[in-house]
């Protein structure tokens, strides 16, 4: 029997230290909060993810306790890291099969985006990363909001595209879009996710609303990326979804320091707000967007699975009820009489224990009909239970996909789409 | 008054009446002469017409000057000339009644050392005109040096006193002829103390009775006694006033002339000029001597010179009378009379010159045979001679005027062209000046515009200045907000503890910190001031190449003030106002930037408003314990750094403001200076006023051309007056 799990691959595209891992962690952590009463949980679906999520959780706990926040405390990745988060409706007790929706995100060293920084030893790995990204139906592009917003002088603003590596991001995004264009019936979603947004919104404890300024800067800096995607795959949906990955910190000051690759690099100093409680904001919008896209993809996959299960049951029933010929039909009549007299279980138990005797007596086909009927009955049961679990996921997906985006979300190609 | 006197009186009055006309004409021609000389000195052409005209004008002035002297005389001036020892001084004594003390005579050696004028006057006195040191050295000593071939002339009396005049050796035969001159020079040198004090150039009045040492050479006896008194050397001329014995001669002046024909050539020329200017008629005295009865070569030469001195008097016989002294060698007088008849009058008595005969010692004879006939003749001829002189002078003036008119016509055209070119040069210079200033300013304005648009170095410097202030604030925060960390904590603990509540202290401290942060950013004014002064320097530099000579060595603001003064001097209010406006530009943090960035500090208060709910919120709440104060310190440090950082960012976002202010100021300056309606007019005025400094060489040419044109104009006007005056007498 095939597994009922749906694997949803999500391309994660951003330069080094932009906040990819923090974004995944926020998705994981706030996803748990958002799904708390749904009957569906979100969990790390592999050991690596579990370890990473644990590290992030500890770092955040430390932040809350010490009220000191040092960005970039966790070392950057030097190799690919696969995150797999499972939207888990709960496993079937009577089967070992996996169910739910697995979200697989592949993090990679951001430096690999630039071919000049990629060693030949990493070419194969990058090829796999790029392959993963290209076949993903969803592309998530994290954007460091502080880099966009803290650049004031001409040299600083000149360094922004280099720090965010918009050129290489655009190149990969273009290839992804071209791939999506080849599958016009498949969903194609790009989420531009500004992270570290706490200082620029007033809806999560901040004092200044600079949302418009952030959006304008984003569109200015990522204009070429947007054009590349829109030009290659018109049906792609693009959304601008700012996320407060922590929610309880804000930028205190900062300094642009010289950098070998990007001329200048922003080093922010952050303070922890007076109420040091994590207040991740914007993950719900990410989930809404993902669910809207999942809805179509998942329904198609799950419906095919249910149909397959029903067809199995129907085939088994058809097999059991088929015309067995004179001898076969005789033994079917005997099975029906025996089952009526002793019950299905006792008949089958007898047949199992007396198989060799019955074969010696020429009664090899006794019990054949009863066995096939039981198999058909069992398939009908599995089908019903699968339908029950899927109804839970359906409810979650339907719930999220039916929700409205928050006021932060915008369409980067229009002034305000949602 | 006799009949002759009346007639002469009438002639003299007529002279006085004509004098203004003569003087006016003379003044005109002296002015013409000055202008022509001026033109000649500045004439760079090879045209010889101007030098010729100059010479002609000089001659005209000389003629008119002689006429002016003539018509200015209120006496009849009779010159008495003749060889030595023929009786000149005797004649003067006889006519004037003076004695040997005033008019010395001598039988052997010359005695008259100074030319004397003996004026018939009721007074009796002598006025001596003296030499200055310079005129003594130039007019008395220098001729001897020239004659002796001594190149140098002593420039001071001290040099003269120490001058060595060696006696020629016996072998130097060619120098023996000059022994006498050497001796005279030595005597003049050795007797310097006797007359040095008189070399003042002033008139000196002396008693007539003691006049002799001032006008006569020492006698032979005195010379032999080795006299050192040579006061006569200091005297230019002696004017002796005294009543004349003959009543008919109350308007008579006798002039004792040196023996013509016996002087050096240049001395003769001077005397001839003096005769023309100062003498109405000359008595050439001659007499027979023991060894000669000829009217000799010296007398002939004298006659020739007198003919020159006659000037425009037509008849030689009107100007010169020959007086034959019959008192000397009476037995030889007849021979001399015959010689004169033959050699002077070509055998016809009185053909060329009248000859008067008298014994010059005999006053009656002199009166009857010389003085009264002379005066009687003069009563008839003097007026005619005056007419001759005046007519000739005016004719010469008219002729010179016509010659000048032709020369000046050519000159006028050239000068007018030059004057026009000068105007054009000035106009072109003013235009070019304005264009060059405009070009230089345009470059500066473009550069400032680019900086205002794109940032650039100034923007980087501004960002650095703002960042420096922020870094200073961070250091100040770390230092316990300027009080020292421990001191701050202690003070805070004390105050919070006393209040039992941290809020009052926190609120007050946040206000203090907010004010301090703002004040520290106010320190940017130092940077702005430097930036403004740098801009002024750039503007001044833009002018330096074009107007450098006007600004001098100063730079920046000082140079611009200097420029404004120059504009003011040239009455250019628009241009001066433009400079004043530029210098009035202010670039200040409080004025230009603080209003725009103040919002960055607005939230730096203890109490604020929730941006979502609109409810009042307290941003910072802590307890009153020591740990709470440390938390308060940390939180305040964070919030202050954040506020300062926000302010820094706000200021950096405004990084174009200084460049905009400066660009606007300089562009406005350029507008006022170059594009205002008065710009061209005032630049022309400015160029005209300061052309000497702006274009020193061209200016000289311009000035030269203008002056030349003005002189030529004046000359043309003067000369046309002279011509018109002559045509319509």
CA distance B490 to chain A (A): 23
The average confidence (pLDDT) of chain B is: 85
State the Cα torsion B296-B297-B298-B301 to the nearest 10°.
130
Segment among A31-40, A46-55, B698-707 with least mean pLDDT: B698-707
Nearest Cα residue to B302 out of B328, B326, B282 = B282
pLDDT at B725: 56
What are the φ/ψ torsions at residue A69 (nearest 5 degrees)? -125, 125
pLDDT at B659: 86
CB contact under 8 Å between B642 and A271, yes or no, is: yes
CB contact under 8 Å between A274 and B649, yes or no, is: no
Strand runs labelled E in A59-98: 81-88
Q: Which carries the bigger pLDDT value, residue B72 or residue B598?
A: B72
Nearest CB partner across the interface for B612, out of A202, A269, A274: A202
Distance CA B505, CA B632 (A): 10
Mean pLDDT of B323-336: 89
- Residues of chain B with pLDDT > 90: what percent? 31
* pLDDT at A358 exceeding the cut of 50: yes
With an 8 Å Cβ cutoff, is B603 touching chain A?
yes
Q: Tell me which residue has tokens 């707000």.
A: A273
CA distance A202 to chain B (A): 6
Interface of A to B at Cβ within 8 Å reads: 150, 152-155, 202-203, 206-209, 250-254, 269, 271, 274
Calculate the CA B564 to chain-centre distance: 31
pLDDT at A118: 82
CB contact under 8 Å between A207 and B655, yes or no, is: no
Q: Give the ranges where B311-370 is alpha helix by DSSP (H).
A: 316-319, 333-343, 363-366
Nearest CB partner across the interface for B652, out of A152, A203, A251: A152
CA distance B641 to chain A (A): 7
CA distance B596 to chain A (A): 15
Distance CA B473, CA B514 (A): 11
CA distance B669 to chain A (A): 29
Report the residue of chain B nearest A249, measured CA to CA. Answer: B638
Close Cβ partners of B644 (under 8 Å, ≥ 6 residues apart): A253, B470, B473, B474, B477, B517
A327 C-beta neighbours (distance < 10 Å), count: 11
Calculate the CA B184 to chain-centre distance: 42
Nearest CB partner across the interface for A203, out of B463, B612, B645: B612
Helix H, strand E, coil C: the string for B408-428 is HHHHHHHHHHHHHHHHHHHHH
Compute the radius of gyration of chain A from its Cα atoms.
28
Report the residue of chain A nearest B454, measured CA to CA. Answer: A154
Distance CA B640, CA B481 (A): 9
Report the residue of chain B nearest A202, measured CA to CA. Answer: B611
pTM of the model: 0.57
CB contact under 8 Å between A150 and B653, yes or no, is: no
CB contact under 8 Å between B641 and A269, yes or no, is: yes
Mean pLDDT of B388-400: 88
With an 8 Å Cβ cutoff, is B654 touching chain A?
no
Q: Which carries the bigger pLDDT value, residue A328 or residue B505?
A: B505
pLDDT at B453: 76
Distance CA A150, CA A274 (A): 23
Close Cβ partners of A271 (under 8 Å, ≥ 6 residues apart): A69, A249, A250, A252, B638, B639, B642
B456: left (phi over 0), alpha (psi -120 to 50) or beta: left
Q: Which carries the bigger pLDDT value, residue A324 or residue B312?
A: B312
Q: Tell me which residue has tokens 């003629």.
A: B63
Close Cβ partners of B520 (under 8 Å, ≥ 6 residues apart): B469, B472, B473, B476
Q: What is the pLDDT of residues B126-150, one digit of tens each?
A: 999 999 999 999 988 998 888 888 8
Mean pLDDT of B509-519: 91
Distance CA B411, CA B544 (A): 40
Concatenated DSSP letters of A193-258: EEES-GGG-SSSS-S---HHHHHHHHHHHSHHHHHHHHHH-TT-EEEE---BSSSSEEEEEEEEEE
CB contact under 8 Å between B621 and A274, yes or no, is: yes
Distance CA B285, CA B87 (A): 7
CB contact under 8 Å between B620 and A208, yes or no, is: no
Segment among A34-38, B16-20, B233-237 with least mean pLDDT: A34-38
Q: What is the pLDDT of residues A181-207, one digit of tens each?
A: 998 878 899 999 999 999 999 888 888
Q: Which carries the bigger pLDDT value, residue B352 or residue B169?
A: B352
Concatenated DSSP letters of A345-399: HHHHHHHHHTHHHHHHTT-TTTTHHHHHHHHHHHHHHHHHHHHHHHHHHHHHHHH
With an 8 Å Cβ cutoff, is B223 touching chain A?
no
Q: Tell me which residue has tokens 């947007």.
A: A226
With an 8 Å Cβ cutoff, is B676 touching chain A?
no
Confidence band of A416 (pLDDT split at 50, 70, 90): very low
Q: What is the pLDDT of residues B414-451, one digit of tens each?
A: 666 666 766 777 888 888 888 988 898 898 899 888 88
CB contact under 8 Å between A152 and B638, yes or no, is: no
DSSP structure class, residue B26: H
Concatenated DSSP letters of B387-408: HHHHHHHHHHHHHHHHHHHHHH
Establish whether this prediction's ipTM goes over 0.85: no
Nearest Cα residue to B258 out of B211, B200, B215, B209 = B215
Which two tokens mark B648?
């820094």
């Amino acid at each position: 029997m095939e597994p009922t799990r749906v694997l949803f691959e999500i391309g994660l595209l951003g330069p080094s230290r932009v906040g990819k891992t923090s974004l995944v962690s926020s998705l994981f952590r706030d996803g748990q909060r958002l799904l708390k009463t749904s009957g569906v949980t979100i969990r790390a679906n592999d050991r690596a993810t579990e370890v990473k999520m644990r590290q992030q959780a500890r770092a955040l706990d430390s932040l809350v306790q010490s009220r000191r926040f040092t960005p970039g405390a966790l070392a950057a990745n030097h190799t690919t890291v696969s995150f797999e988060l499972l939207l888990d409706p709960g496993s079937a007790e009577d089967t070992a099969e996996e169910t739910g929706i697995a979200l697989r995100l592949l993090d990679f060293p951001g430096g690999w985006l630039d071919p000049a920084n990629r060693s030949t030893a990493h070419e194969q790995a990058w090829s796999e990363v790029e392959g993963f990204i290209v076949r993903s139906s969803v592309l998530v592009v994290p954007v460091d909001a502080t880099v966009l917003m803290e650049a004031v002088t001409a040299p600083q603003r000149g360094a922004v595209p280099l720090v965010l590596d918009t050129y290489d991001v655009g190149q990969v995004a273009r290839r992804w879009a071209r791939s999506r264009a080849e599958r016009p019936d498949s969903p194609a979603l790009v989420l531009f996710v500004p992270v570290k947004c706490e200082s620029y919104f007033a809806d999560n404890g901040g004092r200044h609303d600079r949302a418009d300024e952030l959006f304008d800067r984003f569109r200015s800096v990522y204009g070429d990326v947007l054009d590349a995607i829109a030009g290659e795959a018109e049906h792609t949906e693009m959304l601008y979804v700012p996320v407060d990955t922590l929610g309880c910190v804000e930028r205190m000051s900062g300094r642009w320091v010289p950098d070998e690759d990007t001329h200048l690099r922003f080093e922010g100093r952050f303070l922890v707000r007076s109420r040091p409680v994590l207040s991740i904001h914007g993950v719900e919008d990410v989930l809404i967007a993902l669910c809207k896209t999942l809805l179509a993809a998942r329904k198609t996959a799950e419906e095919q699975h249910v149909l397959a299960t029903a067809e199995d049951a129907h085939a088994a029933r058809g097999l059991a009820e088929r015309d067995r010929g004179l001898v076969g039909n005789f033994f079917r009549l005997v099975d029906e009489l025996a089952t009526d007299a002793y019950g299905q279980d006792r008949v089958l138990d007898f047949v199992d224990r007396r198989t060799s005797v019955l074969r010696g007596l020429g009664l090899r086909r006794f019990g054949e009909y009863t066995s096939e009927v039981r198999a058909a009955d069992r398939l009908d049961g599995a089908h019903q239970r699968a339908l029950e679990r899927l109804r839970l996921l359906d409810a979650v997906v339907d719930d999220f996909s039916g929700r409205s985006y928050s006021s932060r979300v915008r369409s980067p190609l229009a002034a305000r789409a949602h | 008054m006799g009949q002759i006197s009346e007639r002469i009186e009438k002639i003299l009055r007529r002279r006085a009446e004509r004098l203004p006309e003569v003087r006016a004409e003379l003044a005109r021609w002296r002015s013409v002469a000055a202008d022509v000389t001026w033109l000649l000195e500045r004439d760079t052409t090879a045209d010889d017409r101007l030098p010729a005209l100059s010479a002609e004008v000089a001659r005209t002035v000389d003629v008119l000057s002689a006429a002016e002297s003539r018509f200015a005389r209120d006496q009849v001036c009779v010159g008495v000339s003749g060889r030595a020892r023929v009786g000149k001084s005797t004649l003067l004594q006889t006519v004037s009644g003076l004695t040997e003390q005033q008019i010395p005579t001598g039988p052997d050696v010359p005695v008259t050392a100074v030319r004397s004028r003996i004026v018939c006057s009721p007074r009796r006195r002598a006025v001596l005109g003296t030499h200055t040191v310079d005129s003594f050295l130039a007019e008395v000593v220098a001729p001897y040096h020239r004659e002796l071939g001594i190149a140098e002339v002593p420039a001071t009396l001290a040099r003269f006193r120490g001058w060595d005049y060696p006696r020629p050796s016996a072998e130097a035969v060619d120098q023996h002829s000059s022994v006498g001159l050497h001796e005279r020079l030595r005597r003049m040198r050795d007797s310097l103390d006797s007359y040095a004090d008189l070399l003042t150039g002033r008139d000196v009045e002396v008693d007539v009775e003691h006049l002799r040492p001032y006008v006569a050479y020492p006698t032979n006896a005195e010379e032999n006694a080795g006299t050192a008194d040579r006061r006569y050397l200091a005297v230019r001329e002696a004017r002796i006033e005294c009543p004349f014995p003959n009543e008919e001669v109350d308007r008579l002046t006798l002039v004792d002339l040196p023996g013509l024909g016996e002087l050096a050539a240049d001395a003769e020329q001077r005397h001839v000029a003096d005769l023309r200017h100062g003498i109405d008629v000359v008595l050439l005295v001659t007499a027979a001597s023991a060894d000669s009865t000829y009217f000799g070569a010296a007398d002939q030469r004298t006659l020739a010179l007198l003919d020159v001195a006659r000037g425009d008097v037509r008849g030689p016989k009107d100007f010169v009378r020959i007086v034959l002294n019959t008192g000397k060698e009476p037995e030889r007088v007849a021979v001399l009379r015959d010689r004169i008849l033959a050699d002077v009058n070509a055998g016809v008595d009185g053909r060329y010159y009248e000859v008067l005969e008298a014994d010059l010692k005999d006053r009656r004879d002199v009166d009857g045979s010389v003085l009264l006939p002379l005066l009687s003749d003069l009563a008839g001829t003097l007026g005619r001679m005056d007419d001759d002189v005046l007519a000739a002078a005016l004719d010469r003036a008219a002729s010179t005027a016509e010659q000048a008119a032709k020369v000046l016509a050519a000159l006028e055209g050239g000068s007018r062209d030059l004057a026009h070119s000068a105007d054009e040069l000035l106009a072109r210079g003013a235009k070019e000046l304005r264009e060059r200033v405009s070009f230089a300013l345009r470059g500066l304005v473009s550069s400032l515009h680019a900086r205002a648009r794109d940032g650039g170095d100034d923007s980087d410097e501004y960002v650095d200045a703002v960042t420096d202030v922020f870094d200073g604030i961070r250091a100040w925060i770390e230092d316990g907000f300027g009080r020292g960390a421990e001191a701050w904590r202690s003070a805070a603990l004390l105050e919070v503890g006393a209040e039992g509540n941290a809020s009052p202290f926190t609120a007050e401290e946040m206000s203090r910190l907010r004010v301090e942060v703002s004040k520290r950013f106010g320190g940017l004014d130092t940077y702005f001031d430097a930036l403004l002064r740098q801009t002024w320097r750039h503007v001044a530099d833009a002018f330096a190449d074009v107007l450098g000579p006007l600004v001098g060595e100063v730079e920046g603001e000082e140079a611009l003030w200097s420029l404004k003064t120059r504009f003011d001097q040239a009455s250019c209010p628009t241009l001066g106002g433009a400079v004043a406006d530029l210098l009035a530009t202010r670039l200040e943090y409080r004025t230009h930037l603080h209003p725009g960035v103040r919002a960055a500090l607005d939230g730096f208060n203890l109490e604020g408003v929730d941006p979502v709910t609109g409810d009042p919120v307290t941003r910072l709440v802590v307890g009153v314990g020591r740990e709470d104060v440390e938390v308060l310190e940390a939180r305040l440090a964070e919030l202050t750094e954040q506020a300062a950082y926000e302010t820094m960012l706000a200021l950096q976002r405004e990084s174009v403001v200084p460049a905009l202010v400066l660009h606007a100021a300089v562009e406005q300056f350029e507008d006022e200076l170059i594009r205002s309606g008065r710009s061209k007019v005032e630049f022309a005025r400015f160029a005209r006023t300061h052309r000497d400094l702006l274009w020193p060489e061209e200016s000289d040419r311009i000035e030269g051309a203008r002056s030349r044109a003005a002189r030529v104009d004046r000359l043309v006007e003067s000369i046309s007056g002279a011509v018109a005056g002559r045509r319509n007498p």
